[in-house]
Amino acid sequence: RPEELRPALEEAFRQSGPAIISVPVDYRENVKLTERLGKIVCTL
């Protein structure tokens, strides 16, 4: 959940060694981003 990310990051940065934070990713958003980026035209 988004509200859990900041506390998890703050705790990780307080550690003196490596920390692992598990973050689930909704890969359906990649398709939406690809579609938007595909519509961008840049003329040089």
d(CA 44, CA 28): 31
Q: Is residue 43 part of a domain?
A: no
More confident residue, 13 or 44: 13
Q: Is residue 9 part of a domain?
A: yes
> pLDDT value at position 31?
86
Q: Is residue 7 part of a domain?
A: yes
Q: Residue 21: which domain range?
A: 2-38
Q: Is residue 14 part of a domain?
A: yes
Structural tokens at position 19: 């920390």
Q: What is the pTM of this model?
A: 0.53
Q: Would you state the torsion angle of the CA atoms of residues 23, 17, 13, 1, taken in this order, to the nearest 10 degrees? A: 20
Q: Is residue 44 part of a domain?
A: no
Q: Is residue 10 part of a domain?
A: yes
Chain centroid to CA 26: how far? 10
> pLDDT value at position 44?
78
Span 17-37, pLDDT tens digits: 999 999 988 888 888 888 888
The number of folded domains in the chain is 1
